[in-house]
Amino acid sequence: MSHRPASRRRSATAAVALGLMCTLSTSAWAGAHDTGPATARHAPATKAASSAGSTTALTRYAIQSTAKVTDPAADVSTPGYPASGWYPAGSRSTVLAALLADGKYADPFYSTNQRKIPKDDFAVPWWYRSDFTVADTSERSYLDFSGVISAADVYVNGKQVAKAADVAGAYTHHELDITSLVRAGTNTVAFRIQPNEPDKNLTMGWLDWLQPPPDENMGIVRDVLVRRGGPVALRDAHVVTKLAVPSLASADLTVKAKARNETDTAVTATVSGTIGSTSFTKTVPLAAHETKTVTFTPADSPGLHLESPKVWWPAGMGGQPLYGLDLTASVAGTPSDTAHEDFGIRDVKAPLNSDGARQYSINGRKLLIKGGGWSPDEFLRWNRTYVEDRLKYALDLGLNTIRLEGHIEPDEFFDLADQYGILTLPGWECCDKWEGNVNGSERGEKWTPADYPVAKASMAAEAARLRDHPSVISFLIGSDFAPDATIEKNYLDALKAADWPTPVVAAASDKSSPVSGRSGMKMTGPYDWIPPNYWYAKREGGATGFNSETSGGPDIPTLDTLRRMMSPAELDTLWQNPGAKQYHRSPSSTFGTLKIYDNALAGRYGAPTGLTDYVRKAQLAQYENVRAQYEAYGRNATDASKPSTGVVYWMFNSGWTSLHWQLMDRYLDQGGAYFGAKKANEPLHIQYSYDNRSVVVVNNRHAAASGLTARVTLFTTDGAQKYDRTATGVSVGGDGAHSTALTVPSSVSGLSTTYLARLILTDPKGKEISRNVYWLSTKPDTLDWANTDWYYTPTTSYADLKGLNSMAQAPVSATASTSSGTDGTSTTTVTLRNTGTGKTPSLLTDAHLVDAQGKPVLPVQWSDNQVSLWPGESTTLTATYRTADLHGSTAHVRVSGWNTPERTVPAT
């Protein structure tokens, strides 16, 4: 974010540990906490597997502040230590996440509750201790982990096995041989976790995204594994793929792994592996404590040359097949260690185009990166279902990419991205220690000699963890700034050693590094409100090049969510006082208020008359702005001059209850921003251009389309038709091509100052395949480009959309029914009809799935929503959701809109 002034993946026997997460409220997290409310000392020990090659995740910890523990470390880390009064914590848990799950603090997502949590409690180290049992000590034992924030002294059975100076950094991977300390029966691991300071430690910070947690996420946020093995260990297993492009007719696979002799004598290991029906084997002599890289290529293993390989594609471009590698190292016929890796076959290129913008292609086909910036939960609580729900939302929105600026999620996140065909752009974060050496006067301390090896080890660990995921298409080694020569060399050396397969990008901003060169990306904003026509200018944040993070700033949630996150007094301030500090926006002084946004809302739509009016105007404004952002980039993607190559909405989601930077809110409710993005990214889409009034058809499908009919009709706000034109025989190429069907004249007689434009695209059989409705003004928004700042361009005069306030009420009838599937989901079908007898359309009519008490049922995926209907028109929508999320209630549909009275109907 522009903020200016370990290779142990997916071991076949690894335990899957769900963290502490619930999609709805912090109070519900306790129910997902794996130790429940019982005292921590009663938590059972984790039973470690005994077989060679097995890994077992520690399932729970007991934690306590060192301010309350005066016993020596040797005692704390000894089995049987009485952890009386300690707090239970999950297998991946920050200190504060555990305390929240234990009910120590009120819901930090409501009002200013988080501000009341004392920071001093987290200014000292905290103990994490966990017991595990081993039945058989004949195998070797290791502790294998990353995700320690910020550093830790590590003890096993009363003995120190690592110091905090060596276990430092959130991403560094550590493997500690604890064979000599492990005993049959109960064993204890204890971590003395150091406080986290993102400006001083190479860990994770929150920049200006949200109010940072008081503990700064100190804790252990990835699995700690107990790994078992024999005399020869297998490590670093991976597959290097080379796909024939553009034919895709064949692929060559190279399998690599390291065999390590753990004994004092020479041994001969047999390393054998399979990928599908292909098998391969090698005999590897190893001297005492020697490590060798074992490599299998098509030259020595012909089965690794694949004809007609199963190629992995992003969603919408093809399938997402994966291959599996299984390796075994044996000594004298006895298995000593195993490894498993899933991987995909695909080719990624990202050269700079003639304008210097980075242009991605997958398997030889160019694509416009349409993405969003990812945020984990504020307390780094992991829940696979919640993550999967958000990734499904990304697909529903027509996005193809998620950018992770720091906060690089656990393995399961990338497994899901592989499964769903969602591209990912991970990289280091800005504005703290990570860029402290190169970001001038911004936050983040300069590096000391001790930081360089931590950064290089972090890069090595993440490269090894992510390289086989086909969804990962780059690593951004800088964000707002590019690394200097020394740091870049360390990163690139680590990436090369890991056989990193995809482009390395110097920065998310328009910066260059000595070796990687120019980034080909821009970070020119905006981050606060600008009008929709801004996006069409090929300058600043407009639709040209690759914009790595940008949006119109505030995204006000639905009224349901606002009432869950803010007090009545705060809600009054929200709509009455634009200059007031908003705790739920940002800790940044730049983004602390909603003044720019609120002034525009009042200037364009009229001053709000109450909270409900404020929220309804906000949803309208967010719909038009988000839609314009994606539409402008979509239209310009195949331009001959200065094409757009990528856009990342800042942000896709928020880690807490927020008033800005989110396409959906913390509870996964959907408003104008969500449905504006969904509309813009339709597979075959008709849209209006704010810059030249062209009506354009954009085809995001691979196949070309022809025989289409495009129609545009202009109406006054009372529904009187003033202009109507149709273009037949419209054709458009595939893969993001666009075609201009017609252009609306600059002046149309009889239009009201505020007017409506309805665009309809039909197929050769006359079936409607895309409908898009705009509210426009004969008085345009005027931008003050000369005074553009890093976060927005001022608007000197606003479009006049106040005429929408005088629209007559348009009654909409609704009938709904629900059917349940066999997969745990239900589908509610609702038919909406404008039953008005006049000419006035129902503008942006929203259907909300609710339970019998009127509470939203979330998550939910609508076929379409926030639709506009003219009198006599009807549409049928479907909503799909988990049946269990009704909690036994009957489904209802709440219908409301800009000029539609609210009503709720049962959906039995």
Catalytic residues, by residue number, are 480, 549
827 three-class SS: strand
DSSP 255: E
Tell me phi and psi for residue 617, to 5 degrees: -70, -35
Q: Which helix (H) or strand (E) holds 61?
A: strand 60-65
Strand 250-261 relative to strand 232-243, pairing: antiparallel
Of 211, 220, 214, 216, which is closest to residue 198 (Cα–Cα)?
Answer: 216
Between helix 411-420 and helix 384-396 the angle, nearest 10°, is: 30
The rounded distance, in Å, linking the Cα atoms of 146 and 454 is 12
Question: What residues form DSSP beta bridges with 770?
Answer: 761
Chain centre distance of CA 85: 37
Q: Which residues in 157-290 belong to E strands, given as ranges?
A: 159-162, 174-177, 185-193, 219-220, 224-229, 232-243, 250-261, 267-275, 278-286
Structure token pair of residue 444: 């983040």
Report d(CA 201, CA 205) in Å as an integer: 9
**Is the four-CA dihedral 579, 580, 585, 589 of positive or negative sign?**
positive
How far apart (Å, rounded) are the C-alpha atoms in residues 422 and 562? Answer: 30
Distance of alpha carbon 402 from alpha carbon 415, whole angstroms: 14
* CA pair distance 281, 269, nearest whole angstrom: 10
**CB distance 229 to 53 below 8 Å:** yes
Contacts of 436 (CB under 8 A, 6+ apart): 199, 443, 444, 445, 446, 447
> What backbone torsions phi and psi does residue 892 show, to the nearest 5 degrees?
-130, 160
Q: How far apart are CA 303 and CA 841, in angstroms?
A: 64
HSE, CB side, 13 Å, CA atoms: give it for residue 411. 23
- Distance, in Å, from the CA atom of 627 to the CA atom of 716, rounded to the nearest integer, reads 22
Q: 711, 405, 657: which is closest to 548 by C-alpha?
A: 405
Geometric angle at alpha carbon 690, from 687 and 693, rounded to 5°: 75
Between the CA of residue 337 and those of 69, 237, 239, 333, what are the distances in Å?
39, 12, 18, 12
Which token pair is 137? 């000590």
CA 413/CA 411 separation, integer angstroms? 5
The structure tokens listed for 442 are 């911004």
Cα 209 to Cα 661: distance, rounded to the nearest angstrom: 8
**Contact indicator for 373, 652 with CB cutoff of 8 Å:** yes
Cα 124 from Cα 66, distance rounded (Å): 7
Q: What is the DSSP string of 697-734?
A: EEE-SSS-EEEEEEEEEEEETT--EEEEEEEEEEEE-S
Mention every residue, 6+ apart, whose C-beta is less than 8 A from residue 888: none
Strands 545-550 and 644-649: parallel
